[in-house]
Structure 1
Amino acid sequence: MDVAETYSDGRRLLVERPAVGLLGVALLYLFVDLMLRLANVPVELMGVEVIGGTLAVSTFGRFLLDGLIVGLVVGLAGVGLSMTYSILNFANFAHGDYVTTGAFSGWIAAYLVGAFTLGVEEPIGRLLMIQAPSLVSAFSSPLAIVVGIILAGLGAVLTALFLDRIVYRPMRDKGGIPLLIASIGVALALRYAIVFIFGTGSRGVTATGSIPEVAIPTGDGTIPMNLHEGTLIVAAVVLMFGIHFLLQRTKLGKAMRAMADNKDLAQVTGIPTERVIRATWIIGGALAGIAGFLIVLERGTLSFNIGWRLLLLIFAGVILGGIGSVYGAMAGGIVIGIASRVSLVWIPSDFARVAAFSVMILVLLYRPEGLFGGVKTA
Structure 2
Amino acid sequence: MRTMPKLARLWGKLLAILAMTAAMLFIASPSLAATTAPAPAPDSTTSAPAEPFRDTISGVLRNAQGPVSGVRITATGEGFTGETLTGENGSWSIGVPERGTYQVEVDVTTFPEGVELAEGTPNPREVTFTNTSNAAAIFPLGEGIVVQGASFGEQLVERLIAGLSFGLLLALAAVGLNLIFGTTGLTNFAHGEMVTLGAVLVFGFNAAGLPVWLAIALAIVGGAIFGYTQDAWLWKPLRRRGSGLIPMMIVSIGLALASRYVIQFFFGGATQQLPGANSPILEFGSISISRNTLTSLVVSAIVIVAIGLLLLKTRLGKATRAVSDNPALAAASGIDVDRVIRIVWTAGGVLAALGGILWAYYRPGVTFNMGQQILLLIFAGVVLGGLGTIFGALLGSVLVGLFVELSTLWLEADLKYVGALLIMIVVLLFRPQGILGRKERVG
The normalised TM-score by structure 1 is: 0.72
Q: Distance in 2 between matches of 1:353 and 1:208?
A: 22
Q: Distance in 1 between matches of 2:414 and 2:280?
A: 29
Q: Which residue identity does 2:175 align to in structure 1?
A: V
1:177 maps onto 2:246 in alignment? yes
Equivalent in the alignment of 1:50: none
User: Which range is displaced more, 360-369 or 83-92?
Assistant: 360-369
Q: Distance in 1 between matches of 2:428 and 2:246?
A: 23
Q: Distance in 2 between matches of 1:175 and 1:338?
A: 36
> Match for 2:165 among 50, 55, 69?
69
**1:259 CA drift (Å):** 0.6
Equivalent in the alignment of 2:93: none
Equivalent in the alignment of 1:59: 155
CA-to-partner distance for each residue in 1:172-209, whole Å, 9 max, x for gaps?
12121111000001101110000111111111223456
Q: Distance in 1 between matches of 2:325 and 2:190?
A: 24
1:213 maps onto 2:310 in alignment? no
1:358 maps onto 2:358 in alignment? no
Q: Which residue identity does 2:365 align to in structure 1?
A: T
Q: Distance in 1 between matches of 2:394 and 2:340?
A: 21
Question: 5+ unaligned residues in a row in structure 2: which ranges?
Answer: 1-149
1:163 maps onto 2:230 in alignment? yes
Equivalent residues in 2 for 1:1-378, closer than 5 Å = 56-112=152-208, 115=209, 144=212, 146-172=213-239, 173-208=242-277, 211-217=279-285, 222-374=286-438
Q: Distance in 2 between matches of 1:236 and 1:283?
A: 15
CA-to-partner distance for each residue in 1:1-42, whole Å, 9 max, x for gaps?
xxxxxxxxxxxxxxxxxxxxxxxxxxxxxxxxxxxxxxxxxx
SS in 1 for 2:282: strand
Q: Structure 1 residues 207, 268: closer, same or farther in 2, change over 3 A?
A: closer
SS in 1 for 2:186: coil
How many residue pairs were aligned? Answer: 289
SS in 2 for 1:214: strand
- Say if 2:190 and 2:252, in contact at 8 Å, map to a contact too: yes
- Say if 2:178 and 2:393, in contact at 8 Å, map to a contact too: yes
Q: Distance in 1 between matches of 2:359 and 2:198?
A: 11
**1:350 CA drift (Å):** 2.1
Q: Structure 1 residues 152, 223: closer, same or farther in 2, change over 3 A?
A: farther
Q: Which of 1 and 2 has greater Rg? A: 2
- Say if 1:328 and 1:371, in contact at 8 Å, map to a contact too: yes
- Say if 2:154 and 2:287, in contact at 8 Å, map to a contact too: yes
Q: Distance in 2 between matches of 1:93 and 1:361?
A: 18
- Say if 2:163 and 2:398, in contact at 8 Å, map to a contact too: yes
Q: Distance in 2 between matches of 1:281 and 1:69?
A: 25
**1:316 CA drift (Å):** 0.6
% identical equivalent positions: 37
Q: Distance in 1 between matches of 2:195 and 2:227?
A: 11
Q: Distance in 2 between matches of 1:161 and 1:229?
A: 30
Q: Distance in 2 between matches of 1:303 and 1:375?
A: 39
Q: Which residue identity does 1:188 align to in structure 2?
A: L
CA-to-partner distance for each residue in 1:42-73, whole Å, 9 max, x for gaps?
xxxxxxxxxxxx96222222222222222111
Q: Distance in 2 between matches of 1:101 and 1:375?
A: 35
Q: Distance in 1 between matches of 2:210 and 2:238?
A: 44
Q: Which residue identity does 1:177 align to in structure 2?
A: I
- Say if 2:380 and 2:423, in contact at 8 Å, map to a contact too: no
Q: Which residue identity does 2:409 align to in structure 1?
A: V
User: Which range is displaced more, 100-109 or 270-279?
Assistant: 100-109
Equivalent in the alignment of 1:124: none
**1:111 CA drift (Å):** 4.5
Q: Which has the higher contact order (CA 8 A, sep 6+)?
A: 1
Q: Distance in 2 between matches of 1:255 and 1:332?
A: 24
**1:251 CA drift (Å):** 0.9
Equivalent in the alignment of 1:135: none
- Say if 1:102 and 1:151, in contact at 8 Å, map to a contact too: no
- Say if 1:266 and 1:273, in contact at 8 Å, map to a contact too: yes
Q: Which residue identity does 2:193 align to in structure 1?
A: D
- Say if 2:383 and 2:427, in contact at 8 Å, map to a contact too: no
Q: Which residue identity does 2:270 align to in structure 1?
A: G
Q: Which has the higher strand share?
A: 2
User: Which range is displaced more, 348-357 or 265-274?
Assistant: 348-357
- Say if 1:150 and 1:290, in contact at 8 Å, map to a contact too: no
**1:319 CA drift (Å):** 0.5
Q: Distance in 1 between matches of 2:236 and 2:423?
A: 36
Q: Which has the higher helix share?
A: 1
- Say if 1:67 and 1:337, in contact at 8 Å, map to a contact too: yes
Q: Distance in 1 between matches of 2:265 and 2:203?
A: 17
Q: Distance in 2 between matches of 1:76 and 1:368?
A: 22
- Say if 2:165 and 2:297, in contact at 8 Å, map to a contact too: yes
